[in-house]
Amino acid sequence: MLRVSETPARPAHETVFTVEATPLKFGPGASAEAGWELARLGARRAMVCSDPEVRRLGVTERITAQLDAEGIAFEVYDDIRVEPSDESFATAAAFAREGAFDAFVSIGGGSTIDTAKVANLISTHGGEVVDYVNAPVGGGRKPAGPLKPHLAIPTTSGSGSEATTVAVLDVRSQGVKSGISHRFLRASQAIVDPELTRTLAAEVTSSAGLDVICHAAESFLARPFQTRERPASPGDRPPYQGSNPVADLWSSRALEDGGRFLRRAVADRDDVEARGRMMLCASLAGIGFGSAGVHIPHACAYPIATGTHAYQPAGYPDDHPFVPHGHSVIVTSPAAFRFTYEAAPERHIHVAELLAGRPIGAGERGPETLPRVLSELMRDVGAPSGLRELGYEEDDIPALVQGALKQQRLLVLAPREPSATDLERIMRESLENW
């Protein structure tokens, strides 16, 4: 018999999930309200993070003019790397500390928004970047309290960083990608303005859009949250919790819209409706994966992006070899979902149906259904056909597998956890998807 003073043993498995969303303001022309939003957030002196390309296009100045109009002082920081590292974050944090800002604005892609998150974190709470990086790569330190207001204005339609609590970085000393993740890193407000993406090259829209599709598909197919172990305390619950009914709503809507609008957005840069819907899609998927998480394709993408290759994508600056993030993610997605199919066949078929925009009949259903739908979409939007096109050969596979295995934080969220041998097969099948 249970005495009153005794409590029953905790269930071994998680029973709770959380979903949070960044307040979003969306629509063509919405960025003209940036000054008003920042004043509403109480800013008097803001650090404006923006990359040199966005600046060159005049987007940054259009927005800072509104800060002027509101009487908000600011300094622009544009030393933003495409793939941020612990060093580049530290440089931005030093700028933030010196400037004694009371608010942050980010205008750019995921790298820019992530840089603002970390500059805000370090200048508000002190410490070094690596202290806050997820364990075991870093110290896993949690911020002592909320950060200063941050207004995030994405200019690409990919990362969804405006909607997540994560900043992704390359930890140079350890040769590994990792992240800083905590709910306090979430931007206070996002402004998503489709007119800001009009200048993007088709290749950039393709890569960013395929990243969104992967965020949504990986989240929807992540292992269910209740199969994780229950954390010792609420503070130990990971940001990436596994699929759950609310994250599913966001992810499935992003898949449906991505299937409908990505081809159009890539084909015609003046199709503001399609580009806008892809931007919104990035935020929707960001809310979904900010709760459920991503797994195999993103784990494989890290070594693919950082490995030895000489890929020079069209549509991007040609000063150094570089694999756009979305293309590094999408190339292994057909093989990854072929591997995970048996863990949840119906959910894989559902993802294929959402992307294809039609029901899939009994005769067409199987492990190849989703890989086929993904490959068709990739081909239609000019994605590389696989690892070989990115400059990798069979001999490179062991190194890529080792790199992917370092991403245990992500791999544990796969509905079927891959061994080294499984990852080797996934990489091999991804050399050429067609």
Q: Using CB under 5 A as the criterion, which residues of the chain lie in contact with Fe ion when the complex forms?
A: 211
Token pair of 76 as six digits: 């622009």
- The nearest distance, CB 215 to Fe ion, in angstroms, is 6
Q: Is 355 exposed, middle or buried (0-12, 13-18, 19+ CB in 10 A)?
A: buried
Which C-beta is closer to Fe ion: that of 143 or that of 326? 326
- Round to whole Å and give the CA distance between 111 and 159: 9
- The nearest distance, CB 229 to Fe ion, in angstroms, is 26
Which C-beta is closer to Fe ion: that of 55 or that of 253? 253
Question: Would you call 124 helix, strand, or coil by DSSP?
Answer: helix
The 3-class secondary structure across 65-93, one letter per residue, is HHHHHCCCEEEEECCCCCCCEHHHHHHHH
- The nearest distance, CB 187 to Fe ion, in angstroms, is 17
Enumerate residues 6+ apart whose C-beta is below 8 A from 233.
Answer: none
- Round to whole Å and give the CA distance between 44 and 46: 7
Enumerate residues 6+ apart whose C-beta is below 8 A from 201.
Answer: 314, 315, 316
Q: What is the DSSP letter of 195?
A: G
Token pair of 80 as six digits: 């933003």
Which C-beta is closer to Fe ion: that of 93 or that of 413? 413
Q: Is 342 exposed, middle or buried (0-12, 13-18, 19+ CB in 10 A)?
A: exposed
Which C-beta is closer to Fe ion: that of 170 or that of 211? 211
Enumerate residues 6+ apart whose C-beta is below 8 A from 361.
Answer: none
Helices and strands (H and E) in the chain: how many: 17, 8
- The nearest distance, CB 395 to Fe ion, in angstroms, is 27
Is residue 222 a contact partner of residue 55, using CB atoms and an 8 Å limit? no
Which C-beta is closer to Fe ion: that of 252 or that of 328? 328
Which C-beta is closer to Fe ion: that of 211 or that of 248? 211
Which C-beta is closer to Fe ion: that of 211 or that of 353? 211
- The nearest distance, CB 304 to Fe ion, in angstroms, is 12
> Which amino acid is residue 54, in one-letter code?
V
CA angle, 134 as apex, 133 and 137 as ends, to 5°?
Answer: 80
Q: Which residue of the chain is nearest Fe ion when measured via CB?
A: 211
- The nearest distance, CB 290 to Fe ion, in angstroms, is 12
- The nearest distance, CB 213 to Fe ion, in angstroms, is 10
**Tokens 């894989």 belong to residue:** 348
Pairing assessment for the beta strands 150-154 and 166-171 based on DSSP bridges: unpaired
- The nearest distance, CB 9 to Fe ion, in angstroms, is 39
Which C-beta is closer to Fe ion: that of 162 or that of 211? 211
- The nearest distance, CB 325 to Fe ion, in angstroms, is 6
Which C-beta is closer to Fe ion: that of 106 or that of 156? 156
